[in-house]
Amino acid sequence: MTRVLIIDDEAPIRLLCRVNLEAEGMEVSEAADGANGIEIARREQPDVILLDVMMPRLDGWEVADALLRDERTNEIPIIFLTARAEIRDRARGLDIGGVEYITKPFNPLELAPLIEALIERISQGDRDELRGEKLAELRALTRE
Amino acid sequence: MAIRATSLHVQLASLADATRSSDLVLLIGAVLGLFLFVHLALDLFVLRRRRRKRESLAQENRMAAAADLSAALARARGGEEVGRVLLDTLNELIGTDHSGLMLIDEGGTEARGLIARSDGADLDWYSAARIDLISEVSGVRCAYETRTLFFVENALDSSEVNAKLIERAGLKSVAFIPLESERRMIGVVSIGSTTGFLSFTPEQLALMNMLAAEGTLALERTYSLAALERALERERLVSEISRRVRSESDVDRLIEVALAETAEALGASRCFLRLGDPETPAPLRLEWRQEGLDPIPADATPYLSVSNLALRQGRTAAVTDVETSPELADESLGGREALLVLGSRAVLSAPIVLFGAVIGVLAVHAPAVRDWSNDDIAFIEAVAREFGIALYSANLLEENQQRLTQQEGLLAATEAMAGELELDSMLTRRLAGGRADLFRALSTRDVLAESVSQAIALLDADAALLLELEGSELVAHEGSSYGLGEMQGTRFPAAISVAGDLVYSRRPLVIGDLSLQERLETLDPIVREGFQALLGVPLIGSDDSLEGVLLVYSHAARAWRAKETEALVSLAANTAAALANAVLYLRVSFEREQSIAILSSVADGIVAVDREGKIVLWNAAVERSTGISSDEALGRTSVEVLRQELDSGAEQGETSISIKRGGRELWLEVTEATMRDPADQIAGKIYTLRDVSTDRFVEQAKSDFVSSVSHELRAPLTSIYGFAETLLRRGELFDETQRQTFLSYIASESERLTGIVDALLDVAELDSGDLQVELGQTDVAHIVREVVEVARQGESGSNGHEFVIDLGADESLGAEADRDKLRRVLVNLIDNAIKFSPDGGKVTVAGKKRPGVVELRVVDEGVGIPEEERERIFRKFYRGSPSVLRGGTGLGLFISRGLVTAMGGRIWVDSVEGEGSSFVLELVSSEAKGGEE
């Protein structure tokens, strides 16, 4: 069973993700702030983390950085979930080491398939390739 | 006396504070005592003198004799004459028939006969007589050594006298009298009898001593006079050489004469000059030698050991005896042999030093052993000094001569008369000197004044006048006359008057004697003032137009020389050019002032740099925007001043730069343009700097605003859209409770969305001033409870904050407010309080009445707000620092303040950093409002 950790300061968003992912048979845990999220990630070793960027105190960038730096959590793929839609933010997310970037608002029904596909590819060892693809996409966008 | 004096001294010392009468009595006693003592002492002295006088009555004759001798000696000139007077007096008064005087040299080695008298005549042989004071036995030596009179009754038998001399003089009895001056023994007088044996009485011996003392004084005076004369003579010689050095242009001829005179003055056989530095065997430049001597061979210079020594040491070398001098023991100097071969036994040599460097050496040779005196040394050093100057000025003269020749070559060729040449060069000099002054004058008035005063000086004239042509009149302006009284504003018709002639002829007008020209005298008002001569020249401008006339006047008739006319023409030309220069300067400086005035007043910053990039203009706007004064900036480069290159490298264009002002970043938009001089070379650049910091800040804030509004809108949209999609999922996945939760989220987030849109509208209204408030009696307490309740409900789960309402005893707080707007303000403040306090923190809303106002406080337990932020947080788009950032549009407090102000209230923040914030809201109390009505 796929285990997903949602780190977001907004309760409705956490609930939204939880119900939709659980509907697809995933196991979901929540954290309302970054510090709590890092702690849970270390403890529970989720398969994937959905990470909000704009949070008080520790923001998403800092949380991602801390997770990727910690060998207990640096293998867990991070999907940024944020209202920040600018290309430079997306680039930053990937640059830090995230593998996917979902812009709010998003269709919650697509969340689970996206996570599945991601985990599938990563299990095949394509993690860096995946990031490379995303960066290439971004570059293409930037050029436009 | 000493004791008395001391006691008096004590008394006097106490006088200073002698205020009591007893002190005064003591003092008077002391003064009387002293007086008596002095009187007594004087009496004693006089008595003693009288006694002494009585005792010495026997000597009075001697004293008289001495006085006579003294008078006679004073008339005597020269040593021999003095000796003769002395000896004759001695012979006469003592009754002897022979007396002689021998002088002793300074070293005390030899006595030489000066003069001897026998039977009223000189003894010829005596002046050649010598006594060796070291090895020979003699009475002279004895008197010299004992310094006392020495008497031999039988000279022929005595072993203490010089037998040869005694024999030669034929003396039977003889006395030797030492002549001792204050400094030394200068001689010995011998006095005796050739006829029979004599015995001198003590009286006679005393007389001899006395007369000898007189003679000593006279001799010493004579010899010091002689020394003085010799010194003077040498001075004259040096000054003569010096004079020639400064006048003689043929330096070889000069040296030749100087060498001969130096040799003569020092009684030398050779005198020569070598030139060159001590490192080389300075070659012989010129030599003077006595007739019959061979010249020094050219290759002998390395062996001229004494002059080599002087060269090497850079100081005078005096060698008494070449054969024995230890100074010549150093073989590297050249040895003794060469000098001896040249027949030189004594050598004196002085280096020629110029500006601290030895450039040569001067030397004199003497054929016999010679003890060079201090005078000799001083003399040769003086001559050497003059040689140095001579050689130096000879070089200068040569260079100067060349230059003069070049400069004046053409002129001289055309000028035959020496007088004309002199006048010309004088005029040229005066003109050249004045030219710079003319061009230094920067106003026309100064040029005019300078010109007339130069005209006076140039021609030694009595008056001068410069008139400028204006239309058909010649006008005197301020400063344009000299020696003519006030002329300013005087106008002369160009058609008449002397000056008028110049206007038409445009040639110099030369009148040496005006009295011969009646017509002029009646025509020209100035001429009528009593001038006899006049010289006038036209002032021709650069475009060959006549600009005026320059006139000089002389009271006496005067034959103006062609050169003088030419000089005045030149002065007039200089004046015309200087006038044009002054006008140009005036115009340029006016234009410059004008440009500066314009540039300083423009609102944009203007910086101009010269071709080296040095700032030459830094206007007030740049001073204001950068905070750097023009004094600091001028003359430096932009990199030095702004730490930033203004020049983009392009001919022209626009760039943006940022500089630091204090801790603040300043953005400047730079427009540049290149200035080129007429030769199309870059003369400098001019930059306009526009401070776009504010624009940039607003731009940045707007951009941030758009991004945060977008985020603020996206958050509720995500929930609305997400829960809607979730509810639309196929299959019955969610129970009724869950569906209700989803729907309530959709509802509340829609409300949130509305709130954001309302806020944006509020800002738009605040910005445009269209905000409307409907004030009315409002129960503030009620609204507080309402808003807090909503907030409490909104808070759920782990975020849960504690809310406290503290309205004191007052259950109702009436204020003049717009109900809806007040609610929005409270919602904002409480949202902020929640946002900025830790989860589970306490948010307190307190209200109370104060005179005239209702005060509400929203207190949180957050991080607080730093002092410097407390005003800024109310600005549009302001959001907390990133560490506390949590979304938001940055509009809440801006809107709140706008709304509160519109309701006639105030809002501010009290905060202790780290201990939370307290937002204070003050509204007009409805009681106060009611009171007013």
State the CATH number of the domain containing residue A138.
Answer: 3.40.50.2300
The answer to which of B22-31, B276-285, B336-345, B797-806 has the lowest mean pLDDT is B22-31
Co-location of B578 and B439 in the same domain: yes
Contact between B293 and B352 under an 8 Å Cβ cutoff? The reply is no
Co-location of B328 and B203 in the same domain: no
Render pLDDT for B691-716 as a digit per residue (tens, 0 to 9): 787 777 777 777 777 777 777 788 88
Render pLDDT for B651-684 as a digit per residue (tens, 0 to 9): 667 777 887 777 777 788 888 888 776 667 777 7
Dist. CA B728–CA B721, nearest whole Å: 11
Co-location of B445 and B574 in the same domain: yes
Q: What is the pLDDT of residue B813?
A: 82
Chain B residues in contact with A23 (beta carbon < 8 A): 729, 733
Residue A44 has pLDDT above 90, yes or no: yes
Name the domain boundary from B587, B612, B631.
Answer: B587
Q: Which of B711, B749, B798 sits opposite A83 (nearest CB)?
A: B711
Confidence of residue A7 (pLDDT cuts 50, 70, 90): very high
Residue B99 inside a domain? The answer is yes
> How close is the nearest chain B Cα to the Cα of A102, in Å?
12
Cα torsion B273, B275, B280, B281 to 10°: value is -20
Who contacts B61 (Cβ-Cβ below 8 Å, separation ≥6)?
A: none
Chain B residues in contact with A88 (beta carbon < 8 A): none
Dist. CA B810–CA B780, nearest whole Å: 11
Q: Nearest residue on chain B to A24, judged by CA atoms? A: B733
Q: What is the DSSP letter of B195?
A: S
Residue B809, token pair as written in the block: 């005893």
> How close is the nearest chain B Cα to the Cα of A124, in Å?
31
Co-location of B614 and B580 in the same domain: no
Helices (H), B801-888: 819-835
Q: What is the pLDDT of residue B32?
A: 45
Residue B495 inside a domain? The answer is yes
Domain that holds residue B39: 2-55
Residue B441 has pLDDT above 60, yes or no: yes
The answer to which of B12-26, B596-610, B912-926 has the lowest mean pLDDT is B12-26
Residues of A with CB under 8 A from a CB of B: 9-13, 15-16, 19-20, 23, 32-33, 54-57, 59, 83-86, 103-109
Cβ distance A106 to B884 less than 8 Å, yes or no, reads no
Residue B753 inside a domain? The answer is no
Chain A residues in contact with B718 (beta carbon < 8 A): 12-13, 16, 83, 104-106
Residue B309 inside a domain? The answer is yes
Render pLDDT for B105-117 as a digit per residue (tens, 0 to 9): 877 888 888 889 9
Residue B390 inside a domain? The answer is yes
Mean pLDDT of B205-212: 82
Residue B904, token pair as written in the block: 């006639």
What is the distance, to the nearest Å, from the Cα of residue B600 to the centroid of all Cα atoms in its chain? 36
Render pLDDT for B451-487 as a digit per residue (tens, 0 to 9): 888 888 888 888 888 888 888 888 888 878 888 877 7
Mean pLDDT of B826-837: 83
For residue A105, say if its preceding peptide bond is cis, omega within 30 degrees of 0. Answer: yes
Cβ distance B722 to A23 less than 8 Å, yes or no, reads no
Q: Which of A32, A57, A106 sits opposite B718 (nearest CB)?
A: A106
Q: What is the pLDDT of residue B279?
A: 72
Contact between B859 and B847 under an 8 Å Cβ cutoff? The reply is no
Chain A residues in contact with B753 (beta carbon < 8 A): none
Cβ distance A108 to B745 less than 8 Å, yes or no, reads no
Q: Nearest residue on chain A to B796, judged by CA atoms? A: A11
Domain that holds residue A19: 3-143
Co-location of B547 and B430 in the same domain: yes
**Mutating which of B709, B714, B886 best tests the A interface, going by the most A Cβ atoms within 10 A?**
B714
> How close is the nearest chain B Cα to the Cα of A22, in Å?
10
Residue B599, token pair as written in the block: 């540039």
Instruction: Indicate the SS3 state at residue B551.
Output: strand
Q: What is the pLDDT of residue B237?
A: 65
Strand spans (E) along B233-343? 270-275, 284-289, 317-319
Residue B410 has pLDDT above 60, yes or no: no
> How close is the nearest chain A Cα to the Cα of B795, in Å?
10
Q: Nearest residue on chain B to A23, judged by CA atoms? A: B733
Mean confidence (pLDDT) of chain A: 84
Chain B residues in contact with A8 (beta carbon < 8 A): none
Q: What is the pLDDT of residue B12?
A: 38
Q: Nearest residue on chain B to A58, judged by CA atoms? A: B883
Chain A residues in contact with B750 (beta carbon < 8 A): none
Our count of domains for chain A comes to 1
Co-location of B253 and B392 in the same domain: yes
Cβ distance A32 to B797 less than 8 Å, yes or no, reads yes
Co-location of B289 and B377 in the same domain: yes
Co-location of B177 and B275 in the same domain: no
What is the distance between the terminal CA atoms of chain B, rounded to a whole angstrom?
Answer: 116
- The dihedral region occupied by A30, where left means phi > 0, alpha psi between -120 and 50, and beta the remainder, is beta
Q: What is the DSSP letter of B91?
A: I
**Mutating which of B726, B745, B751 best tests the A interface, going by the most A Cβ atoms within 10 A?**
B726
Contact between B140 and B133 under an 8 Å Cβ cutoff? The reply is yes
Cβ distance A23 to B733 less than 8 Å, yes or no, reads yes
Distances (CA, A) of B801 to A35, B222, B289: 19, 129, 127
Chain B residues in contact with A108 (beta carbon < 8 A): 722, 725-726
Number of H helices, E strands in chain B: 25, 30
Q: Which of B711, B733, B797 sits opposite A11 (nearest CB)?
A: B797
> How close is the nearest chain B Cα to the Cα of A105, in Å?
4
Mean pLDDT of B70-81: 73
Co-location of B608 and B579 in the same domain: no
Q: Which of A11, A84, A105 sits opposite B717 (nearest CB)?
A: A105
Residues paired with B609 in a beta bridge: B615, B685
Chain A residues in contact with B798 (beta carbon < 8 A): 32
> How close is the nearest chain A Cα to the Cα of B715, in Å?
7
Chain B residues in contact with A57 (beta carbon < 8 A): 883-884
CATH number for position B646: 3.30.450.20
Q: What is the pLDDT of residue B418?
A: 36
Co-location of B91 and B208 in the same domain: yes
Residue B317 has pLDDT above 80, yes or no: yes
Co-location of B582 and B445 in the same domain: yes
The amino acid present at B164, given as its one-letter code, is K
Residue B15 inside a domain? The answer is yes
Residues of B with CB under 8 A from a CB of A: 707, 710-711, 714-715, 717-723, 725-726, 729, 733-734, 738, 741-742, 745, 749, 796-799, 835, 839, 882-887
Mean pLDDT of B44-57: 51
Cβ distance A59 to B885 less than 8 Å, yes or no, reads yes
Name the domain boundary from B664, B691, B718.
Answer: B691
Residue B885 inside a domain? The answer is yes
**Structure-model confidence comparison of residues B908 and A142, the more confident one:** B908
Render pLDDT for B536-546 as a digit per residue (tens, 0 to 9): 898 887 777 88
Range of B33-47, B56-70, B277-291, B487-501 with top mean pLDDT: B277-291
The amino acid present at B816, given as its one-letter code, is E
Render pLDDT for A19-42 as a digit per residue (tens, 0 to 9): 999 988 999 999 998 999 999 999
Dist. CA B343–CA B862, nearest whole Å: 118
> How close is the nearest chain A Cα to the Cα of B719, in Å?
6
H or E element at residue B474? strand B473-482
DSSP percent split of chain B into helix, strand, coil, nearest 5 = 50, 20, 25
Co-location of B289 and B384 in the same domain: yes
Q: What is the DSSP letter of B507?
A: S
> How close is the nearest chain B Cα to the Cα of A125, in Å?
32
Share of chain B above pLDDT 70, in %: 76
Q: What is the pLDDT of residue B54?
A: 47
Q: Nearest residue on chain A to B731, judged by CA atoms? A: A23
Residue B155 inside a domain? The answer is yes
Our count of domains for chain B comes to 6
Chain B residues in contact with A19 (beta carbon < 8 A): 726, 733-734, 738, 742
Q: What is the pLDDT of residue B252?
A: 73
Q: Which of B710, B723, B733 sits opposite A16 (nearest CB)?
A: B723
Who contacts B897 (Cβ-Cβ below 8 Å, separation ≥6)?
A: B874, B907
Q: Which of A9, A19, A32 sits opposite B726 (nearest CB)?
A: A19
Mean pLDDT of B172-188: 85
Q: What is the pLDDT of residue B882?
A: 46
Q: How many residues would you count in chain A?
A: 144
Residue B232 has pLDDT above 70, yes or no: no
Confidence of residue A122 (pLDDT cuts 50, 70, 90): confident
Q: Nearest residue on chain A to B834, judged by CA atoms? A: A56
Residue B271 has pLDDT above 50, yes or no: yes
Confidence of residue A59 (pLDDT cuts 50, 70, 90): confident
Mean pLDDT of B889-911: 84
Q: What is the pLDDT of residue B434?
A: 67
Confidence of residue B430 (pLDDT cuts 50, 70, 90): low
H or E element at residue B684? strand B682-691
Mean confidence (pLDDT) of chain B: 77
Dist. CA B185–CA B382, nearest whole Å: 31
Dist. CA B623–CA B633, nearest whole Å: 9
